[in-house]
Amino acid sequence: MVGAGFMNLIQILHALDRNRAEKHGKAKASGKVLIAAIHPGSFFNSISPLDAPSTRQPRYQEMATCTGARGVIDTLPGSLPLSIVPDNLNPEEVAGSWIATLDSLSTDDFIGEALWKDLYALTGLPRTFYSAKVIEKAWNDVSTVHKPCGFTFIRGTAEVVRRMPNLSWVDARFMFQTRGRPSSICSGIVSLVSDDRGNTWKIWILRTILERLEGHPDVDVPNPQTQPIHANANQYDCLVVGAGQGGLSTAGRLQSLGINYLLIDKNDNIGDNWLLRYDSMKLHTLRAYAHLPFERTFPCDSYPELLSKYDLAKCYKLWCEKLGINVRLSSQLVSGSWDKEGKKWNLVIRGQDREMRVSARHLVLATGAGGHIPISPTFPEREKFGGLVLHSAEYKSASQWKGKSAVIIGSANTAHDICNDMVEAGLSSITMVQRGQTFVLPFQFYQQGKNMSHHFDAMYELLIEANKPQVRYNDTLSTNLADRIECSNPLSIANKMATCRFNAMMSQNNEQFDALERVGFRVKRCGNPLSTLYEEGGRHYIDVGTSAKVVQGLIKVKSGSLITSYTKNGLMFEDGCELEADIIVLATGYEMSLRPTVARILGTDVAAQIDEFWGLDEEGEVRGAWKPIGHPGLWYMGGPFGHSRFFSRFLSLQIKAELAGTPLVLYSSTPGNRASVEGKDHANGSHV
């Protein structure tokens, strides 16, 4: 199982044959900006400009991609700068002088292909703006409303970031305030690039982040309770449904802000969302990524690098007890309706022995993608098969099947975990049915990433050029800071950097993948790993050891042919092959949409008004999670550990602002922006 709680994470890539990259080695100039396209598996090639670039502009590089289907992430603008920062540069001097100019920005302060990512600070939403002209227009619009001021360089934060040959820039952090309604305290990160001589500096990436609402408690400081805040058994400011990492993080943040809330979960114990999964389950991501808000939930001297489900459940429970989280277990939300006049939800919760009716101004659905509804493919003639068929959601252990044969349909994390479990249990035959190419990400990629500097998520830890002992998610760097650096980076840039690094690392492990392909396992070797997280819902395996068992023949592979039907003894394939099995496990994932869950509980009218939970909009932002989704007082919460932990703060701040009578002002349209969402009714918040 993947680990980050969210069905191992959500997405896949645009895939492809590197050798056919059409733009390899070509460069073109457009205006003052030079674009160089390179092979994604190589580092920055030297280029010859078609037209000499302006001395006031740095040069740029656009990542070439392999041929294949293109998703939203592949179409996003933005490029990597071919910029070299002199070795003797003092980044503090450069950054300090530049941050002083943020009071009055213009297009001249940005490179042509600049990006600005705002996390609720000035737009009330997670948004990304592309190009200097669009940024200037949007910045001026929101500045009129919010009146940003007091831009202050945080001394000691400026650094030269050197990723690859010919790719370096200056990063610095800053603070500022807004004086609109609501007034707020915000932070930011600026990335500066220079011309060839290091004389002229311009903004490549600007990031702004909402930190606090003026006059209200700090959402990042815990507020432990011995009894619920403003306890009332029937009326709440907010009801949170689901006590996984998303629901727990949200409950803790709401409590920090003094909001009257109730958290409910259908299970009997905190942590059951992990404990009820298969016995051998461990995370495939690093321990330092899995913390809940406010603390290091899993101390490095007490827990292994790869946490087990028992580790997660234990620490979740301790965290809840320590903070005094107001949670009601063995309780399900069964129905609800929106009171338009009263601006509240009227909700029915079913407990073990009775139903209770409550009202809440806000309802947060933190039930996981699709509410954990399994995808179970059907094949003809099921009645012929006399063995056991179950979805991986029902799978616990293979210990009772020693000596039997099994077929596992699927080839991502969960499928590999189950196959490995079956090897350990002594099954006589284990066959993995692979329905398409699979990304195999060796765990050593993660371990290399553990010692890396910030910026690019790239399947959590991996895929970044190692150059510093300091890194985002480790046992020394503040998780709060790591989240800000990680989650505020524009996805376009994260994707380009990750793809370059990923393909380079993949090309260095050819024999490892060749060995898998020799036994029939089809490896996707080139592509875009962040699409796995945001657009596809999995289809990758983080190799913590099972690939070796595939190569050894302990786990057989069937690929390249579709299942046509069940047989008396197993499964029949298009190529005429029959696989015999006593047990068939469907490791085929879960539904991604939460709208069916909303329709079932709140009605089809509500479901018709709201956006999808996951996936990307045209700006490269997650579609529905953590922001207004189209109906008043209704929110989605979820995602991998880092997303749940970090974005729970923004969800809670939005709710606090609305309860205080000063909802965040939403800037939802930018004339001329490639990804204008003009006219979309976000329902919560006011509009510029």
Higher pLDDT, 540 or 230: 540
Q: Where in the chain is the domain with CATH 3.50.50.60?
A: 235-372+597-611+634-659
Per-residue pLDDT, averaged over 48-60, amounts to 30
The rounded distance, in Å, linking the Cα atoms of 634 and 631 is: 6
**What is the overall mean pLDDT for the chain?**
83
The rounded distance, in Å, linking the Cα atoms of 395 and 572 is: 23
Which H helix or E strand runs over 650?
Answer: helix 641-659
CATH of 235-372+597-611+634-659, one of 1.10.4100.10, 3.30.750.24, 3.40.190.290, 3.50.50.60: 3.50.50.60
* CB within 8 Å of 107: residues ≥ 6 apart: 132, 133, 135, 136
Beta bridge pairs of residue 430: 406
Strand positions, DSSP E, 48-166 = 59-63, 80-82, 110-119, 126-130, 149-153, 159-164
CB 498 within 8 A of CB 457: yes
Q: Where in the chain is the domain with CATH 3.10.450.50?
A: 91-213
Residue 52, pLDDT above cutoff 60: no
Residue 39, pLDDT above cutoff 90: no
Per-residue pLDDT, averaged over 81-86, amounts to 86
Distances (CA, A) of 178 to 142, 231, 257, 659: 10, 33, 20, 19
Per-residue pLDDT, averaged over 509-514, amounts to 88
Residue of 548, 284, 278, 553 lying closest to 421 (CA atoms): 278
Tokens (6 digits) for 188 = 């930011």
CATH of 91-213, one of 3.40.50.620, 3.10.450.50, 2.170.190.11, 3.60.150.10: 3.10.450.50
Q: What is the pTM of this model?
A: 0.84
Q: Could you tell me the pLDDT band of residue 357, with boundaries at 50, 70 and 90?
A: very high
Q: Tell me, what's the pLDDT at 184?
A: 98
pLDDT in tens, 3-23: 333 233 222 222 222 232 233
pLDDT in tens, 115-143: 999 999 999 999 999 999 999 999 999 99
Helix ranges restricted to H, 257-325: 272-275, 309-323
The rounded distance, in Å, linking the Cα atoms of 448 and 452 is: 7
Q: Tell me, what's the pLDDT at 370?
A: 56
